[in-house]
Chains A and B, each alone.
Chain A
Amino acid sequence: MTEIYLRSALLSVCLLLLVACSESPPVFHDIERPVRLSDWQLFAVGTNELVPSESSVVFRPNNPLFTDYAHKLRTLWIPQGLKAEIVNDEINYPVGSVLSKTFYYPRASSTMLSKVADSGLQKINLNENQLIETRLLVRKSDGWDAFPYVWNDEQTEAFLRVAGASKQISLLDQGSTQITDFTYFVPNENQCAGCHTTVHPDGDMHPLGAVFSQLNVDSNEIDTGNASPLEQMVQLGWISDEEIFPRSKSWQDPSASLQDRALAYLNMQCGHCHNPEGAADTSGLILDSSQTLAINRGVCKPPVAAGGGAGDLRYAIVPGQPEESILLYRMRSDKPDEMMPELGRSLIHSGGIELISRWIAEMPGAC
């Protein structure tokens, strides 16, 4: 009798070992809210590496949101045997799907992190990089839910921080050698919903990056040699290949027109709130490209409740005059009460400012 117990106990030890340390598929939690990221088994934290589960697809969207120059490793996982449906030209993920986004910076030294372009790593070397946080978007039976996990300094585990967290960061610009000290903010769960619920306040949360138009990226655009995320999803049987996938213009696409690039940028950075049903519709400024009336897109539009965010300027956009445009003023600000977007960044995005500045400068007309 004792022997049987012993044997089953030993077996369970082996099972536990397998679960803990070797490749095993992710686990979906519908009701529980795991405190530890490792409970989802999305990654193997091996010898100084964070490696996404082989069952996941690593992807990068066409228009990523700017987050203080953090690099991002995104994964998408659908439980075995399930597949996504295509509804209204959009991916309808099955219950159990888990999206993850891990934010990290390359290390510049023992105390400093590095500001360089995101090279789109498929796995993260933990000696060369510092993990900050991993955000999950999970398709539960009652809809999407968001979970912000924050990595410990040892990079051995990330813990659920319902109320978010903050971290002091010194960032070395590898180009100019300039050092920027700032506070990096991990959003709380409400703030996750702030962007991922685009119909305010009663809409459902939904993904912003793992959508058709964002995923439709040529495989050579992420230097992996792998198939594109959508091709991989087809290969895995997650979606059927009979669909014609829409594609968003990339704000960085040099072949796209300045107008298209600017609108793609504003749509991604601002449109989740500044849409006709979004949390920022109170302002009357609609930046998701759905409006045809120039004033609702900001042209010669006076502010409504901008306070100091108006920067002593009169209109959101003054054609030909970026310096007179509140839109650009708020993009250039890093003061919490003035800056836009309100959340998701502590630093200003020079690439975006350059683009929108040129766009306004070349815009015909006057106020």
Chain B
Amino acid sequence: MKYSTLRIISIVSATVLLASCGNEEPAMPELSFEEALQEQLIQAKSGDVITIPAGVHEITRSLSLNVSGVTIAGTGIDESILSFKNQVQGAEGLLISANDFVIRDLAIEDTIGDALKINQSTNVQILRVRTEWTNGPLSTNGAYGIYPVQSNNVLIDEAVAIGASDAGIYVGQSSQIIVRNSRAEYNVAGIEIENSTFADVHDNVATNNTGGILVFDLPNLSVQGGRNTRVYNNQIFANNTDNFAPEGNIVASVPAGTGLMIMANDNIEVFENNFEDNNSANVLIVSYLINEIPITDPNYDPFPEAIHLHNNQYTGGGEFPDSEPLALLQAATGQPLPDIIWDGMLAEGKTSADALCFSEAADTSFVSLDASNGFAQPSFDAAVHDCVLPRLTEISMSISSQ
């Protein structure tokens, strides 16, 4: 009896309450797939696995995750697809700022800007992830596919990156990096390691990009002094797609037909790669000075040093250079350009052997461009580079594999 009286009163009071403000209880809005997913990402706890079911999921706004210890898992690289074809907000598809992060078995397609950006995170695993612009190489495509920046302990394994208007797989301002078993195709730069230290790039396929693999160091950044990268056992062939990067960006200066390009990095070991049919140069090693951009950064070293090439295979290439000095050289010699091309620029007091050592098969060709003298006297003398540098150590990653 008491309870029923109470219940009546409480119902009455609720009604009075509603009536007193003149409204019905306003209705809660319903969430779309992307809103529910973003809410999950925001409210995630360490240890959570957020699953992306198979299917094509249309996403219109950037997704982001700031919680450490979270895994985002699809059911397969061609099954779980986040399609940003109709994206209307955000400079990237998925933006991560979280440690101990794993993303696996899914695809991110047609983002308006970068596809997967990972900023200032430690222990990052990107496994069987595809980033792709599905309309082919267009300058209107987003800049980067897989894009960890200022991050440490980064593993990219069995990834696929297609169509980026800058770099398909781009690791910038980071340390302790492995990029392996991945495929980069129809990007301006297939795989790029920039302003980073301690990277292993191996067992990848880079083809149909403008430049297959790039190892760069740029000035005026808080993280610079790129060094200690090993590039080995990669298939780097037919990277002859016209450069479609927007002007102004550093990769816009990469000649179409570049296999591997090293700019201003030190201690780079390149071995057991297969270079084939890269029309400008299978291997191109340059100083930042080649860009003719004034350097105002007193802490920046624009010269590549201790570049070590050995046991690589070179087939074809150098036949249709996409660079004025290279084209002039080719016209002058009447030959395809050599396998290894160095701009020849040296820091004061340094020798050719300080810059570049190689032990390659006897038929491997080489040229030093004499770029600092207006390409006046190119030298084909490989003997000065016949030296051996200590092997770099393997990157071992302590993060567990999933």
Do A13 and B13 form a contact, CB below 8 Å, given A2-B2, A305-B143, A337-B113?
A: yes
Contact with A along B57-99 (1 / 0, CB 8 A): 0001100111000000000000000000001111100010110
Tell me whether B20 and A21 are in contact (CB under 8 A). yes
Tell me whether B172 and A310 are in contact (CB under 8 A). no
Chain A neighbourhood of B97, CB < 8 A? 200-201, 279
Tell me whether A282 and B172 are in contact (CB under 8 A). yes
Interface segment out of the listed B22-30, B152-160, B263-271, B331-339 = B22-30
Do A306 and B249 form a contact, CB below 8 Å, given A162-B39, A166-B61, A276-B222?
A: yes
Chain B neighbourhood of A185, CB < 8 A? 61, 89
Cβ of B393 under 8 Å from chain A: no
Tell me whether A307 and B143 are in contact (CB under 8 A). yes
Q: Which of A154, A157, A193, A326 contacts B66 (CB 8 A)?
A: A193
Cβ of A281 under 8 Å from chain B: yes
Cβ of A17 under 8 Å from chain B: yes
- Determine the distance from Cα of A189 to Cα of B38 in the docked complex, in whole angstroms: 9
Cβ of B139 under 8 Å from chain A: yes
Chain A neighbourhood of B12, CB < 8 A? 13
Chain A neighbourhood of B20, CB < 8 A? 17, 20-21
Most chain B CB atoms below 10 A, which of A2, A5, A13, A200: A13
Cβ of A256 under 8 Å from chain B: no
- Determine the distance from Cα of A284 to Cα of B41 in the docked complex, in whole angstroms: 29
Contact with B along A314-353 (1 / 0, CB 8 A): 1100000000001000000001110000110010000000
- Determine the distance from Cα of A165 to Cα of B5 in the docked complex, in whole angstroms: 43
Tell me whether A188 and B64 are in contact (CB under 8 A). yes
Cβ of A10 under 8 Å from chain B: yes
Tell me whether B90 and A156 are in contact (CB under 8 A). no
Interface residues of B in 319-358 (CB under 8 A from A): none
Chain A neighbourhood of B362, CB < 8 A? none
Closest to B12 in A: A13
Cβ of B120 under 8 Å from chain A: yes
Tell me whether B120 and A201 are in contact (CB under 8 A). yes
Tell me whether B143 and A308 are in contact (CB under 8 A). yes
Most chain A CB atoms below 10 A, which of B26, B87, B296: B26
Cβ of B240 under 8 Å from chain A: no
Do A307 and B114 form a contact, CB below 8 Å, given A5-B6, A156-B23?
A: yes
Closest to B166 in A: A307
Chain B neighbourhood of A189, CB < 8 A? 42
Q: Which of A17, A282, A306 contacts B143 (CB 8 A)?
A: A306
Kindly provide the distance from the CB of A290 to the nearest chain B CB, expressed in whole angstroms. Answer: 13
- Determine the distance from Cα of A190 to Cα of B97 in the docked complex, in whole angstroms: 10
Interface residues of A in 138-187 (CB under 8 A from B): 150, 152, 154, 156-157, 159, 161-166, 183, 185
Chain B neighbourhood of A2, CB < 8 A? 1-2, 5
Closest to B147 in A: A305
Interface residues of A in 50-66 (CB under 8 A from B): none
Kindly provide the distance from the CB of A192 to the nearest chain B CB, expressed in whole angstroms. Answer: 10
Closest to A194 in B: B64
Bin chain B's interface residue count.
35 or more
Tell me whether A336 and B246 are in contact (CB under 8 A). no
Cβ of A227 under 8 Å from chain B: no
- Determine the distance from Cα of A191 to Cα of B91 in the docked complex, in whole angstroms: 12
- Determine the distance from Cα of A310 to Cα of B248 in the docked complex, in whole angstroms: 6
Tell me whether B90 and A342 are in contact (CB under 8 A). yes
Chain A neighbourhood of B142, CB < 8 A? 307-308, 337
Interface residues of B in 158-213 (CB under 8 A from A): 165-166, 170, 172-173
Closest to B95 in A: A190
- Determine the distance from Cα of A194 to Cα of B144 in the docked complex, in whole angstroms: 20
Tell me whether A310 and B88 are in contact (CB under 8 A). no
Cβ of B220 under 8 Å from chain A: yes
Do A16 and B42 form a contact, CB below 8 Å, given A163-B31, A185-B89, A308-B143?
A: no
Do A303 and B36 form a contact, CB below 8 Å, given A150-B29, A154-B23, A336-B90?
A: no
Cβ of B218 under 8 Å from chain A: yes
Number of interface residues of A (CB under 8 A): 70
Contact with A along B108-132 (1 / 0, CB 8 A): 0000111000011100000000000
- Determine the distance from Cα of A122 to Cα of B386 in the docked complex, in whole angstroms: 79
Chain A neighbourhood of B87, CB < 8 A? 336
Cβ of A235 under 8 Å from chain B: no
Closest to B222 in A: A281
Kindly provide the distance from the CB of A348 to the nearest chain B CB, expressed in whole angstroms. Answer: 15
Q: Which of B89, B139, B144, B220 contacts A305 (CB 8 A)?
A: B144
Tell me whether A310 and B247 are in contact (CB under 8 A). yes
Cβ of A196 under 8 Å from chain B: no
- Determine the distance from Cα of A313 to Cα of B249 in the docked complex, in whole angstroms: 9
Contact with B along A296-307 (1 / 0, CB 8 A): 100011111111
Closest to A310 in B: B248
Chain A neighbourhood of B293, CB < 8 A? 302
Tell me whether A163 and B9 are in contact (CB under 8 A). no
Return 18 A-B CB contacts under 8 Å, by A number. A1-B2, A12-B13, A17-B20, A20-B17, A152-B29, A163-B39, A190-B64, A201-B119, A279-B97, A304-B221, A305-B143, A307-B143, A308-B143, A309-B143, A314-B247, A337-B91, A337-B142, A346-B89
Q: Which residues from chain A sit less than 8 Å from chain B, CB to CB?
A: 1-2, 5-6, 9-10, 12-13, 16-17, 20-21, 35-36, 45, 150, 152, 154, 156-157, 159, 161-166, 183, 185, 188-191, 193-194, 200-201, 276, 279, 281-282, 284, 293-296, 300-315, 326, 335-337, 342-343, 346, 367
Q: Which residues from chain B sit less than 8 Å from chain A, CB to CB?
A: 1-2, 5-6, 9-10, 12-13, 16-17, 20-21, 23, 26-29, 31, 34-39, 41-43, 60-61, 64-66, 87-91, 95, 97-98, 112-114, 119-121, 139-140, 142-144, 147, 149-150, 165-166, 170, 172-173, 218, 220-222, 246-250, 293-294, 296-297
A sample of 6 more A-B contacts (CB under 8 A), given A200-B119, A201-B97, A367-B294, is A5-B9, A9-B10, A188-B64, A190-B65, A282-B150, A305-B147
